[in-house]
């Protein structure tokens, strides 16, 4: 497996692992291996769309890293990764009507297709606790708004490009605001364990709030 990963030394302390389009799951396998195998000492990892950064306090040689990667077990494609989190929401966002028109569906169809999949947290970034979710129905893909809003609320449930997501903190944003959830994804006052509800590799289902 490791021969299909490109390794690139990134800064003074990092190794960047890059994959081609067809091999995305191998980065998830590396993350699982990093988290479960003690033989390599790292500070942290950051996963993105097709790349994984591993930061070290002392960066190992490429050979040492490849030896580590060679031992990486490959998880089966249908083996569930992470936890399943159900996020209840109301579809009361200001962009629901406009989005529905733009994709040529009724708001009810948009809701149904938004709720149908089990999404996976592909990666996180942009703001603390903001998760980019894979698995959005292609009929709901829509490029971001041409001008972002100055403020999306925390809890805004949105679609941007090919991804679904939930804004975890208030911030400017260009995604289409379809609904709102009270489910707090980011709790900075909690201890470290409870701070982030979602982690890369978790799965998400959107459900109607009661």
Partner 1 sequence: MSANSPLPTATILRTGPSLSVQDLGRHGWRRYGVAPAGALDFLSARLANDLVGNSPESAVLEAAMAGTVIEFHQAAWVAIAGASGASELPSWSAKRFSSGDKLHLTGSSSATWTYVAIEGGGWDVPTVLGSRSYHSRSDLGFALKEGSELHSSHSQLDIYQNISRRYIPPEERVNFASSTPLSLSLGPHHELFTEEQKMALAGQKWRLSPLSDRTGYRFLGETPLSHDHSIMSCPVIVGSIQIPSDGQPIVTLNDGPTLGGYPVIATLDMNDVAWLVQQHPQTQISFQW
CB of 44 to partner 1, least distance (A): 5
Return d(Cα 82, Cα 95) in angstroms, integer: 31
Q: Is 196 in the site for partner 1 (CB under 8 A)?
A: yes
Q: Is 188 in the site for partner 1 (CB under 8 A)?
A: yes
**By CB under 8 A, which span of 67-75, 109-117, 135-143, 195-203 interacts with partner 1?**
195-203
Q: Is 12 in the site for partner 1 (CB under 8 A)?
A: yes
What SS3 class is residue 39? coil
CB of 196 to partner 1, least distance (A): 5
Contact characters 106-125, partner 1, x per CB under 8 A:
-----------------xxx
Q: Which one, 130 or 177, has the nearer CB to partner 1?
A: 130
Q: Is 146 in the site for partner 1 (CB under 8 A)?
A: no
Q: Is 11 in the site for partner 1 (CB under 8 A)?
A: yes
Q: Is 130 in the site for partner 1 (CB under 8 A)?
A: yes
Question: What are the angstrom distances between the C-alpha of 159 and each of 110, 126, 142, 143?
Answer: 11, 15, 7, 9
- 81: closest CA among 115, 44, 118? 118
Return d(Cα 190, Cα 42) in angstroms, integer: 25
Please identify which residue in 14, 155, 160, 179 interacts with partner 1, judged by CB under 8 A.
14
In terms of DSSP bridges, do strands 119-124 and 131-134 run parallel, antiparallel, or are they unpaired? antiparallel
Q: Which of residues 47-106 bind partner 1 (CB under 8 A)?
A: 47-53, 55
State phi, psi for 82 to the nearest 5 degrees.
65, -165
CB 142 within 8 A of CB 131: no
Q: Is 126 in the site for partner 1 (CB under 8 A)?
A: yes
Strand partners, 179: 157
What the block records as the tokens of 203 is 């799965």
Q: Is 25 in the site for partner 1 (CB under 8 A)?
A: no
Please identify which residue in 82, 103, 195, 209 interacts with partner 1, judged by CB under 8 A.
195
Number of residues near partner 1 (by CB under 8 A): 38
Question: What are the angstrom distances between the C-alpha of 195 and each of 39, 128, 168, 188, 207?
Answer: 28, 10, 11, 5, 22
Q: Which residues contact partner 1 (rule: CB under 8 A)?
A: 8-14, 16, 18, 43-53, 55, 123-130, 168-169, 171, 188, 192, 195-196, 199-200
């Amino acid at each position: 497996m490791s021969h299909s990963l490109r390794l690139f030394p990134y800064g003074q302390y990092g190794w960047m692992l890059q994959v081609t389009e067809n091999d995305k799951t191998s980065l998830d396998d590396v993350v699982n291996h990093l988290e479960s195998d003690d033989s390599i000492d790292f500070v942290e990892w950051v996963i993105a769309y097709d790349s994984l950064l591993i930061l070290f306090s002392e960066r190992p040689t490429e050979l040492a890293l490849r030896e580590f990667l060679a031992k990486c077990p490959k998880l089966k494609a249908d083996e569930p990764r992470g936890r399943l989190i159900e996020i209840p929401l109301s579809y009361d966002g200001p962009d629901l009507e406009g989005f529905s028109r733009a994709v040529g569906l009724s708001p009810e169809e948009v809701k149904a297709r938004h709720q149908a999949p089990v999404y996976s947290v592909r990666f996180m970034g942009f703001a603390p606790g903001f998760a980019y979710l894979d698995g959005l129905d292609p009929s709901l893909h829509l490029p971001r708004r041409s001008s972002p809003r100055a403020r999306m609320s925390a809890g805004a449930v949105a679609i941007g490009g090919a991804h679904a997501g939930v804004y975890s903190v208030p911030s400017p944003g260009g995604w289409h605001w379809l609904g709102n959830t009270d489910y707090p994804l980011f709790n900075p006052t909690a201890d470290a364990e409870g701070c982030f509800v979602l982690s890369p590799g978790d799965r998400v289902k959107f459900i109607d709030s009661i």
